[in-house]
Structure 1
């Protein structure tokens, strides 16, 4: 038996793996905001499963409900057959999330992952509008299947498709080419709302309010409102990809709430399952729900254990103090990052993101990667973002207490200090 615990991954697993290279240890146990490897080394988790673990690891309430469901031989796989677990999630989601926000959407279960939700949204928009073109934005990321890749901007990931990616048009995201919203919208409208531009009228515009993989670029409320107004003017649907920034990550359950916009379709996955269980939903304005039965389906769209934990997770949102605590701790994260930018000018840093999806962009090549690596060596798990991995990003679980957050930030500063002193 080998003494190199990573050897089997290096020899038998595909070269496509990535996170096991960034964090070269074998993890075994996790609870709340902490991870432990096989040697019982403890790490604070500022990664949260790339946003799939907003409620942390092994939440007691969700675990109890899941074990109870399994012990009573609750149905595990049901496709889209009616089940008790599915019904309870739909009822809880409507009463806890939609009704208090005066939102009316049909819930579609497209399959277990974020890209499944995006694919269903794009397909439905094209069906409803009878057009093929979709508008997306610079630095956007929407998934790894072909339709989602077509509206993704990352060159490396697009190249992996191996085929042309069409029926999509990329426009500049907020502040990509200009600070003024008025100037930006004149540019975008010159292509999408002017005769003679040569651009086919789109079926939909898809966007992230905070671009998680694209560098934590956060759109202003004014820009989001103008994009919604443009959609109405050109009779296109507005799709918000809330897969990573949603479920409280950007401060409120839906990341767009502060902007007061009303998307036609909302894509959600990652933390919607609560416990890290694979689950995705697509929210559709009722009049747009024009699917024929079975027109879009998937074998694992009936993952009942995920419905159980997702329903239990919604209990957090019944308590107004939960969202208030997210806001308070978000301010603490922002203040810390601003302090780091001032204290370590060698970072050449600037603040990115909002809520629990924040980070620092460094204009020094490879410095963000070095911060992430040195933070790992100091017992903190975090990753980078942006087209050149120029942003190190903080994704703590929303349930982290002040003690854990403070200790994680302390370890991050050690990582920053070690990186800039190399």
Structure 2
């Protein structure tokens, strides 16, 4: 650990929560230099939906490297890119009735957000963008202006302009539809809110605390955007690629975003990769008007295609995610019933769920105890008060149960409560689908 203390910046964060030197990872497990095994419920903050070193992807990647496949190609046409685009179009977009242009941006989620905001402003000729309370879209300056968290915003060093903040679903209470407020301010020329180029929203706010917007709220938001001729951007960087039970997190709401950002698990293998999807009529870019040396990652094209071919050629994988998500919901509800006493509630959907604690101190105690028992799990939310379940989607039933058992035991110890939840039940659905 000495070299990290000597020369690595103080900006490091996850290493503080999990002070080990890791050197191996397989599936849903991480291993440190001493050979200790850890069940991973962090999964690269949602980058490893298909697990660590997925053997199906590794084989394709090693074959590509062995054959001297293109590593870096700027935005040149490469075979790997073409095959990814073909698979994405035929197996993701067309079956969902979606027609989008694909823009390859820099390799991270914040790069995709920057491109999306820039495109929306160029297309509409307007500057303002509507973002939401507790939203998180990245920490480069443009994306940071749409991010709500004061900890991240405070590090900017400059004023962050160009956005107006609106209350997310549930922010003002369960019975208040905050899209009605948005409609009101956009309808009132004296509201002080300039007509925006776009609205940017996460259907489930990951870093903001696993706040899941209702499908009705999302549909109402789309209606407001259409009424006022404002572009709708869905930031699906963490909630997409199957995390909520469908490939895109907005599918079940039945909305049709103008622009979608994807990254994190898009590349499948944990390789940096980000894109912006947008409707063809919005493709007003001039050649090279928005670029970057690392736009498009040929290694990630290979593994992204493998992920689509193996997991998204039919709906079996989506059904498996939904089944596991239902199990997570039942387990978390049972834990809350047993230990809640006003300290805990649940939130989220699919395999993107969390336990909302009464404060960040309580959540931190739970995750520390869980780590002592071999589980890597983090917190999120404005005060780090939500224990965030973000395990690989391919996790086995046995290890999913094991991880939640560890969290339950940690909660029991932290709450110093001797009672346990009822006799062990089979929380999984009785019929298991083929993987």
TM-score range, shorter chain: over 0.9
- Structure 1 partner of 2:243: 249
* Unaligned stretches of 5+ residues in structure 1: 1-5
- Structure 2 partner of 1:392: 387
Residues 61-72 of structure 1 mapped to structure 2, 5 A cutoff:
61-72=56-67
Q: Please tell me whether the aligned partners of residues 268 and 281 of structure 1 are also in contact (alpha carbons under 8 angstroms).
A: yes
Q: CA deviation at 1:177?
A: 0.6
Encode CA deviations 1:288-334: one digit per residue, 9 max, x unaligned: 01100000001111310010001001020113211111011001101
Q: Please tell me whether the aligned partners of residues 192 and 234 of structure 1 are also in contact (alpha carbons under 8 angstroms).
A: yes
Q: Please tell me whether the aligned partners of residues 135 and 204 of structure 1 are also in contact (alpha carbons under 8 angstroms).
A: yes
1:195 partnered with 2:183: no
Q: CA deviation at 1:178?
A: 2.9
- Structure 2 partner of 1:77: 72
Residues 10-25 of structure 1 mapped to structure 2, 5 A cutoff:
10-25=5-20
- Structure 2 partner of 1:101: 96
Distance 1:24 1:7 in 2: 12
Bigger mean CA offset, 356-365 vs 140-149: 356-365
Q: CA deviation at 1:419?
A: 2.3
Distance 1:109 1:419 in 2: 46
Encode CA deviations 1:335-384: one digit per residue, 9 max, x unaligned: 11111111113571011111111011011441111111111111001100
Distance 1:261 1:106 in 2: 18
Distance 1:296 1:356 in 2: 34
Q: CA deviation at 1:181?
A: 5.0
Encode CA deviations 1:210-234: one digit per residue, 9 max, x unaligned: 0000000000011101110111111
Cα 1:365–1:241, aligned 2, differ >3 Å: closer, same or farther?
Answer: closer
Q: Please tell me whether the aligned partners of residues 81 and 302 of structure 1 are also in contact (alpha carbons under 8 angstroms).
A: no
Q: Please tell me whether the aligned partners of residues 181 and 223 of structure 1 are also in contact (alpha carbons under 8 angstroms).
A: no
Q: Please tell me whether the aligned partners of residues 347 and 367 of structure 1 are also in contact (alpha carbons under 8 angstroms).
A: no
Distance 1:374 1:153 in 2: 29
Q: Please tell me whether the aligned partners of residues 346 and 420 of structure 1 are also in contact (alpha carbons under 8 angstroms).
A: no
1:417 partnered with 2:412: yes
Q: Please tell me whether the aligned partners of residues 181 and 222 of structure 1 are also in contact (alpha carbons under 8 angstroms).
A: no
Encode CA deviations 1:228-278: one digit per residue, 9 max, x unaligned: 011111111000000000000111100000100000000000000000000
Q: Please tell me whether the aligned partners of residues 105 and 296 of structure 2 are also in contact (alpha carbons under 8 angstroms).
A: no
Q: Secondary structure at the match of 2:312?
A: helix
Q: Secondary structure at the match of 1:258?
A: helix
Q: Choose which of 396, 399, 412 in structure 2 pairs with 1:404.
A: 399
Cα 1:49–1:140, aligned 2, differ >3 Å: closer, same or farther?
Answer: same
Cα 1:270–1:35, aligned 2, differ >3 Å: closer, same or farther?
Answer: same
- Structure 2 partner of 1:230: 224
State the TM-score, normalizing by the size of structure 2: 0.94
Encode CA deviations 1:186-207: one digit per residue, 9 max, x unaligned: 3222212222212110000000
Distance 2:284 2:370 in 1: 49
Distance 2:398 2:391 in 1: 13
* Unaligned stretches of 5+ residues in structure 2: 418-435
Q: CA deviation at 1:406?
A: 1.1
Q: Choose which of 243, 248, 258 in structure 2 pairs with 1:264.
A: 258
Q: CA deviation at 1:418?
A: 2.6
Q: Choose which of 273, 277, 282 in structure 1 pairs with 2:271.
A: 277
- Structure 2 partner of 1:136: 131
Q: Please tell me whether the aligned partners of residues 211 and 217 of structure 1 are also in contact (alpha carbons under 8 angstroms).
A: yes
Distance 2:242 2:258 in 1: 20
- Structure 2 partner of 1:46: 41
Compute the RMSD of aligned alpha carbons. 1.1
Residues 311-330 of structure 1 mapped to structure 2, 5 A cutoff:
311-315=305-309, 316-330=311-325
Q: Secondary structure at the match of 1:404?
A: helix
Q: Secondary structure at the match of 2:368?
A: helix
Q: Secondary structure at the match of 2:94?
A: helix
